[in-house]
Amino acid sequence: MKQESLNFKCEQFFGKNWKYIFFGIILGCFVIALEIHSISNRMESLEQIVLDNNGKVVFATSDGRAIKVTKTPLKAEYLKQFAISTYVNNFIYSRAQLTNDFSKPNFTKYSDILENAPNLALIFREYINKEDKQAIGDLIAYLQWLMSAIAQDKLPEYIAIKDSSVNAYEYSANHFKISLEIKVIAQSFIIAKNEYVNQNGVIKIVSEGSFDLTKSSDANPYGLRIKRFSIVVPTKDNQ
């Protein structure tokens, strides 16, 4: 009897209050749906943050600022063009450039050349591993040649670049080999003639190196490291 009485009371309660129970269930479902939607939005926002962070890399600038840069696929062609630009724009110097318009005619130390050749100084600072004896030796050999060419009046007073071409380029596993020819017009003062003479010439550069983004900097964004190089510069015809 007690069980029947309890069932009867429950039936009466639900019968009288079914509207409230129904709306209560609807309200509960609505609240749950809102929470699920809110959680879904937060998850999407978190996913976007993760994708944004994974798609960018933070670099420190030379003045200490941190900047976020979007990652892009590193194409071998970009590296090749960067290597070409590095050699063409930083290794070629005339007598006028090295002597600061002939105000410093003589050099006794390699550092004297680097002080007057900011691009070569940049190569020394940013593009050569100071512990790489081969690369350091090749740079010293070139600086020695420049000092000797000035002393013996072999280096043209002015050199203008006309064009450049790549004879050979090999790239594998971040290492490269390159052979360049740079066509130039040299303007040389010939003492015997007491006048300037224009000469067409070709500067030849052969080099090996590598790319390492962990060694990148503002001045060297691809982390290019020169392993060895040789350069042949046309000299004055003093006859």
Query: Domain residues of the chain, as ranges?
Result: 2-54, 72-232
- Report the C-alpha gap between 107 and 98 in whole angstroms: 10
How would you classify residue 207: left for phi > 0, otherwise alpha for psi between -120 and 50, otherwise beta?
beta
- Report the C-alpha gap between 12 and 5 in whole angstroms: 10
Residue 80 has pLDDT above 70, yes or no: yes
Q: Among 63-72, 174-183, 194-203, 226-235, whose mean pLDDT is lowest?
A: 63-72
Q: How far is C-alpha 211 from the chain's CA centre?
A: 9
pLDDT tens digits, one per residue of 2-52? 445 656 555 665 565 655 666 667 766 766 766 776 676 666 665 665 555
Helix or strand run (H / E) with residue 138: helix 133-151
Identify the pLDDT of residue 21: 62
Residue 148 has pLDDT above 50, yes or no: yes
pTM of the model as a whole: 0.71
Side chain identity, residue 192: A
Q: Bridge partners of 203?
A: 182
Identify the pLDDT of residue 106: 81
- Report the C-alpha gap between 198 and 221 in whole angstroms: 37
**Mean per-residue pLDDT, 203-223:** 93
- Report the C-alpha gap between 234 and 239 in whole angstroms: 15
pLDDT band at 88 (very low <50, low <70, confident <90, very high): very high
pLDDT band at 120 (very low <50, low <70, confident <90, very high): very high
Mean pLDDT score of the chain: 83
Better pLDDT: 36 or 205: 205
Residue 105 has pLDDT above 50, yes or no: yes
Residue 74 has pLDDT above 70, yes or no: no
Q: Selecting from 3.30.70, 3.30.420, 3.90.1170, 3.10.450, what CATH number does the domain 72-232 have?
A: 3.10.450
What are the two backbone dihedrals, phi and then psi, of residue 105, each rounded to the nearest 5 degrees?
-75, -20
C-beta of residue 209 within 8 angstroms of C-beta of residue 224 = yes
- Report the C-alpha gap between 188 and 236 in whole angstroms: 6
- Cβ-based burial of 91 (10 A; exposed 0-12, middle 13-18, buried ≥19): buried
**Mean per-residue pLDDT, 72-88:** 86
C-beta of residue 68 within 8 angstroms of C-beta of residue 58 = yes
Task: Specify the DSSP class assigned to residue 104.
Answer: -
Task: Specify the DSSP class assigned to residue 105.
Answer: -
Better pLDDT: 34 or 106: 106
Residue 73 has pLDDT above 60, yes or no: no
Q: Bridge partners of 70?
A: 56
**Structure token digits, residue 116:** 């007057």
Identify the pLDDT of residue 11: 60
Kindly state the percentage of the chain with pLDDT values over 70: 71
